[in-house]
Amino acid sequence: MRNDGQSCHKSAGMPSGLIEITSETIAKMHSDDHPPHPTWLEL
């Protein structure tokens, strides 16, 4: 990403253009085995 704030819109590939810790898209799936945030899963 650039320090001047130009050309960085949507550069992170997320809807907001920023790095996201929680995904609203995944949260809408209501899946127990795919939480909307980073977590350790024992499989």
pLDDT given for residue 6 in this prediction: 56
- In whole angstroms, give the CA distance from residue 9 to residue 32: 32
Which one-letter amino acid corresponds to residue 23? S
Locus of tokens 């945030």: 37
Q: Say what the pLDDT of residue 29 is.
A: 93
Dump strand ranges (E) for the chain.
Answer: none
CB 32 within 8 A of CB 19: no
- The predicted structure's pLDDT at residue 18: 76
Confidence of residue 7 (pLDDT cuts 50, 70, 90): low
Q: Each residue of 10-43: pLDDT tens digit?
A: 556 777 777 788 888 889 999 888 899 999 888 7
- 39: which 2 tokens? 């977590």
Domain coordinates in residue numbering, the chain:
1-43
- pLDDT at residue 1 above 80? no
**What is the per-residue pLDDT for 12?**
60
Residue 24, SS3? Answer: helix
